[in-house]
Amino acid sequence: MAVNVAIYLLVCVTPPVLFWLASKSPALAAALRRRRVPAPSAPPIERLAADLRRVHRSLADLAPDAPMVRRRATNQAYDALLAQACAALGLRHWLDELPEGVERDVERLRVEEALRRAGLTVP
């Protein structure tokens, strides 16, 4: 008698439990996908573009008698932003490899033009 009751309960309970589990599986799969997707490590390209314009403006507005430390720091910040924008758009640059001077200035102009061609407005 107890075996018959156990079989009856198993037959009655199993289908609703299976349907309940099936109804929860899409939410569970979505939660697992969200956990696996890493957060972006780089800032959005829109923020990079705004930062590039801001630093370029501050570089252009530097007074001729501004301290050399400020000028170099602003140039380095601008180069770092250019490198981040290149990385975000998949462009190659040599800003990190070239020493300060004419070659780096030419590379900076080349990178600005490559970014413009890629659709990023750089002044």
In this model, does residue 111 exceed pLDDT 80?
yes
Q: How far is CA 93 from CA 20, 47, 109, in A?
A: 54, 20, 11
* 17 assigned to some structural domain: yes
In terms of domains, do 80 and 20 share one? Answer: no
In terms of domains, do 27 and 58 share one? Answer: no
* 123 assigned to some structural domain: no
In angstroms, the CA 87 to CA 84 distance is: 5
In terms of domains, do 55 and 28 share one? Answer: no
Domain hosting 102: range is 45-117
Domain count, the chain: 2
In terms of domains, do 78 and 26 share one? Answer: no
* 3 assigned to some structural domain: yes
| pLDDT for the residue 86 | 93
Contacts of 85 (CB under 8 A, 6+ apart): 45, 48, 49, 52, 91, 115, 120, 122
pTM for this entry: 0.66
In terms of domains, do 60 and 15 share one? Answer: no
In this model, does residue 43 exceed pLDDT 90?
no
In terms of domains, do 105 and 51 share one? Answer: yes
